[in-house]
Structure 1
């Protein structure tokens, strides 16, 4: 590992291989005027794509402090127009997630890693689940505890102490791409997964059709907050190294529309002349999302090319 006063250059965080190839340079979507471009590289051995160099652990927090970065709608004092659309889609998504999980396991005990303000856990709790969450943001933790009366650990994932507690389901909804050592995180939490339990991981897919179409303007690059960019083959490798097995994948339908629309807005912000054709670009975003979803059906790629993918993992040896 090579360090300077802000960034660190690392070998592949999955397989530790040091031979890497450049893949793409992308901007920070909240600092387009700054001109800095972050490097996405790909490991020549396991094909994992990741940010390199990346902000050091003691420097990354400033990239989460931009006023436009608002991952927790419930704690916002003011909402913008798109926030209401996102809030509505989130409600639908939460219901969809619960039904999907309950098709695979019976109601039991669930841990949500990076639980935010707790809307998902609250929904699960109202449907009979015993819930717990892990969250690093103090405002989100306070809201989840006070508003929903949830059991939420205020902790970094690496430092969490769950004693010998076991869970039937452990979820990561767009969280694993933010952590520094994904294999070690999954190893740690595997010890808290019941023998027949289910681990659910949702993450963007940089090999999707919409990612290819939007290139460096694809919003889900989200550099430098997204440190990793997963694909099904790489997730299979990560699972194996963590003592888990990848048992299935599923596309996240709404993410395609969100990623395409936000990518168009990102492009408009960078190329101001496009603001005169915003309605056309919005229509294009919907079309690209629908094409991306169609391409991600079993007829074409069996979900492997979806804009975002849900991965289902189990402990090795469990059925």
Structure 2
């Protein structure tokens, strides 16, 4: 069987100077099933770059297979058998309200725009809205449902006029990218000199992540390969000619109350279950699978802009 995996160096700074934090076991292998891979999955480690502090998984699925997966087979996170609905309306509204405090009109481009629910929060009378989405299912839904100009596929040079967007946003996307620096160069080419970049991703330095260890729910899928902290997000921006404006820590998996409940459940029910399983596994040949900890206040919103060369 053909090998679809590869070992990688730090995707943020490119160095191979690293250390293993711990092994991780993705609790979903649906990505491999969708790719019709029936071989044994390799052991995956979470590495910390000793140079920039970024966390990343290795080995990973090769780019050629991931591109086919996202374009032809969508994503394991999309349910193709039901009508899409916005499961995070309050979160999308909050994100828009945070963005409009810094910029409230213009041309916006969302990468990985999904079903278009976030872009739909941007008022039609103030924003010209564009989205890029590799999933045919999601992009077709968004294009038919909302006033959004959707491109099905991946962003490439020449898709739009250079320096033509006031705002470029992407959420729960950067953790999927094998080459975030190439991605940064690409999106910079479309951003106006005074434009804004905003992205959301998991925060591996969150309290919940530290308490969850290798059972953090962000280690959910082979799609997740890069895990940012506020520090490595700043390094990523700086290395690519971008300036960090602000980082806002916020939940992106439910309401504030939901995240509080998840955190309490993690400290009590989930932790107790895992303790029981730990002792059972010591005396039992049949190994019990540990429970993953729920996400709770695990995300961050990162604001950046092109560096002002005149400041140098």
TM over 0.5: yes
Offset of 1:242 from its aligned partner?
1.2
Q: Greater helix percent: which structure?
A: 1
Q: Do the aligned partners of residues 213 and 102 (structure 1) sit closer, same or farther apart at CA in structure 2, a change above 3 Å counting?
A: same
Partner of 1:202: 200
1:74-89 equivalence runs, <5 A: 76-77=81-82, 87=87
8 Å CA contact 1:28–1:37 kept in 2: the answer is: no
In the comparison of the two structures, how many residue pairs are matched?
277
Question: Can you list the C-alpha shifts for 1:202-226, whole angstroms capped at 9, x where unaligned?
Answer: 1101121111112222111234211
Partner of 1:312: 303
8 Å CA contact 1:111–1:169 kept in 2: the answer is: yes
TM-score for both structures, normalised by structure 1: 0.75
Structure 2 counterpart of 1:246, from 244, 247, 250: 244
Quote the Cα distance in structure 2 between the aligned partners of 1:260 and 1:50. 29
Structure 2 counterpart of 1:44, from 45, 50, 63: 50
Q: Which sections of structure 1, spanning at least 5 residues, go unmatched?
A: 275-280, 294-306
Quote the Cα distance in structure 1 between the aligned partners of 2:3 and 2:42. 16
SS at structure 1 position matched to 2:301: strand
Q: Which sections of structure 2, spanning at least 5 residues, go unmatched?
A: 31-39, 278-290
Partner of 2:131: 133
TM-score for both structures, normalised by structure 2: 0.76
Offset of 1:6 from its aligned partner?
1.5
Partner of 1:176: 174
Partner of 1:110: 108
1:257-272 equivalence runs, <5 A: 257=258, 261=262
Offset of 1:123 from its aligned partner?
2.2
Offset of 1:106 from its aligned partner?
2.6
Quote the Cα distance in structure 2 between the aligned partners of 1:78 and 1:198. 33
Root-mean-square deviation (CA, aligned residues, Å) is 3.6
Question: Can you list the C-alpha shifts for 1:68-94, whole angstroms capped at 9, x where unaligned?
Answer: x75346x54279xxxx8x72xx11111
Q: Do the aligned partners of residues 12 and 164 (structure 1) sit closer, same or farther apart at CA in structure 2, a change above 3 Å counting?
A: same
Quote the Cα distance in structure 1 between the aligned partners of 2:83 and 2:102. 38
Offset of 1:150 from its aligned partner?
2.1
SS at structure 2 position matched to 1:220: coil
Quote the Cα distance in structure 2 between the aligned partners of 1:23 and 1:259. 27
Quote the Cα distance in structure 2 between the aligned partners of 1:195 and 1:64. 31
Q: Do the aligned partners of residues 132 and 78 (structure 1) sit closer, same or farther apart at CA in structure 2, a change above 3 Å counting?
A: closer
Offset of 1:259 from its aligned partner?
10
